[in-house]
Amino acid sequence: MKKSIIFLALISFFWSCDEDFLEEKPEDFLSSANAFSTYADFTASVNNMYFLVRRQFYNRDENRPFDFLYGTDLVFDGEPGGTQRHGNMVQAYDPAGAIATTHWNLLYKNISEANTVIELAPQSEMTEEEIKDIISQARFFRGFAYNVLVTLYGGVPIVTDAITEPKIDFVRNTREEVLNQVIDDLTFAAANLPSIGEAQDGRVNNLVALHYLGEAQLALGNTTEAITALSTVINSGDTGLMTERFGTRSNEEPGDVFWDLFRRGNQNRSSGNTEALWVIQFETDVQGGGLQSGSRGGSYPFERHFGPLLRFAPFNSWPVGDYTGGRGIGWGITTEYYTNTVWGGDDSDPDFVNDIRNANHNFVRVFNKDNSSALAILAEEIGRDTVWSTETQPRIREFYAFPTKVTTPYNHPDGLLRNSDVPYALTSSAGGTYTDQYMLRLAETYLLRAEAYLANSQPQLAADDINVVRNRANASLVEAGDVTLDYILDERVRELGLEEKRRLTLMRTNTIYERVMDYNPFYVENGMQPHFNLWPIPADEIEGNRGAELVQNPGYN
């Protein structure tokens, strides 16, 4: 009898225990149960979202950030033969290849991180204000990532919950469903992020969210809503195109306000730049900063890709950190369209001469003793001026016109300068671009609203927006009757060439095939096809998704 009572007591004890008794409570290792508690914990995760964007678009490696420029109408591969710069397009866009797979993974990594933060923040010990701050940033990055995904791949699986166990039954949502998710996230972000005047340099703010919200609304065909969002950015009172010279080198000649926009130290609002909306931050010789004064490692190798490879006489002192392109190696040769056609063709066109964005200090075509240290020495040696023009030479890897926004003329870090009789001579470690980078500036918002006005059958308002940008550039004004989508895409090249993520613009407008066929013979010869307007769903995702069918995009195996 006594034994029975003891047995029943033990049963009663175990049955009466709270179910939490059996839950694992990590005390000496990090998990989602204990890693997210304080504002500092969540901020660390949000900071990683910023890092993932910088990594994908600027400094993951020497190739993937430039997938948004190669294979478009702007440049072609100066060292063809592989897939890294989209040379063999069929192989480059293979579903099992690195291009489609890498970007898919990075974007979903950011979504996964955002989902975890959004789910756990309300359960934390943070204040309501801190929770709003964290969730608004996380929802911005989730919306941003889905906006890029839907542009590159079309409809993709929408995941808005943190996944804590294996899942192999994803299905694709429609393009419209994904865009509506983008709109939902960015609407929340725009309402809760700090104003651009309050936000720290590099931090996303309400106007950045509104710009991308307008872009998503336009992609969905909601032109009125797009115009409303974009107008809020333009009319905020905190923004404006820079129209006067400013910043660290504003007293130098030649120069103008467009040149000033891309000089070191001039990208952020703290420099007085009211045009900058979202600037990706790089810090030199700071751990995690992405730049090193004596190395190219971890940098954004903008200069290396798009500066010409000057390794022939009279440029025997290459590389030189002046207007000869720094340590470029000529991988991204500018097309005839980008170099000449889009500006008017030649100096018989007033815009070719008057548009400051096409001035030789902004788009170098002529190399002479005034802008080249090496040629200045040569001119003195031979007793006469020496002029080399890209317009009288074949467009080859060693010599072509390039925009100076890809480099930092006369302003490379001291650790990259070598001992030489030629001033500003660079070591072999150069090749990065030593400035913060515009992810978004107000000129793009004007041109996006012009696109929305055009789609809304308001060509005069579209022309007015374009002319705000062209007026700053001292270019002739466009008439309403001449505004077309092609004209707007051309103006984006003049204003944003090699700066915007051109692939996203052309895929979003469903024009990449036509633009490449019209303006980039290299890619026409190397396999451009109509279905490349979308990238393939990565093969790994399809093969691993055994519980449901993840349908491949048309045209791909």
What are the boundaries of each domain within the chain? 38-178+500-557, 299-435
Q: Measured on CA atoms in the order 461, 212, 299, 240, is the torsion positive or negative? A: positive
Beta bridge partners of residue 488, listed in sequence order? none
412 Rama class: left (phi>0) / alpha (psi -120 to 50) / beta: beta
pLDDT at site 284: 82
The DSSP element (H or E) to which 139 belongs, if any, is helix 128-153
- Helix intervals (H) in 17-97: 39-54, 89-92
Beta bridge partners of residue 77, listed in sequence order? 332
Beta bridge partners of residue 503, listed in sequence order? none
CA distance 314 to 378: 8
Amino acid identity, residue 500? E
Q: Measured on CA atoms in the order 447, 452, 457, 461, is the torsion positive or negative? A: negative
The DSSP element (H or E) to which 283 belongs, if any, is strand 283-284
The mean per-residue pLDDT over the stretch 73-89 comes to 94
Q: Measured on CA atoms in the order 484, 65, 256, 237, is the torsion positive or negative? A: positive
pTM: 0.93
CA distance 107 to 114: 11
pLDDT band at 11 (very low <50, low <70, confident <90, very high): very low
Q: Token match 């000869």: residue?
A: 324
pLDDT at site 294: 84
- Residue 262 makes CB contacts below 8 A (sequence gap 6+) with 404, 405, 435
The DSSP element (H or E) to which 367 belongs, if any, is strand 366-368
Coil, helix or strand for 19? helix
Pair 527, 77: CB distance under 8 Å: no
pLDDT digits (tens, 9 = 90+) for 402-436: 999 999 999 999 999 999 999 999 999 999 999 99
CA distance 403 to 79: 20
Beta strand pairing call for 283-284 and 290-291: parallel
In our burial notation (b when 16+ CB lie closer than 10 A, e otherwise), range 198-207 reads: ebeebbbbbb
387 Rama class: left (phi>0) / alpha (psi -120 to 50) / beta: beta
CA distance 447 to 92: 31
CA distance 548 to 537: 14
For residue 7, pLDDT beyond 80? no
Task: Provide, rounded to the nearest whole percent, the portion of the chain with pLDDT above 90.
Answer: 84
Fold topology of 38-178+500-557: 1.25.40
Closest CA to 552 of 178, 110, 93, 102: 93
Question: 224 vs 100, 194, 234, 437, 462, CA distance in Å?
Answer: 33, 25, 15, 31, 13
What is the pLDDT of the chain when averaged over all its residues? 93
Beta strand pairing call for 276-280 and 437-441: antiparallel
pLDDT band at 34 (very low <50, low <70, confident <90, very high): low
pLDDT digits (tens, 9 = 90+) for 459-468: 999 999 999 9
pLDDT band at 35 (very low <50, low <70, confident <90, very high): confident
The mean per-residue pLDDT over the stretch 162-167 comes to 92
pLDDT at site 9: 43
The mean per-residue pLDDT over the stretch 495-510 comes to 98
Structure tokens, 318: 């290459």
| Distance from the first to the final alpha carbon of the chain | 74
CA distance 338 to 171: 40
The mean per-residue pLDDT over the stretch 161-178 comes to 96
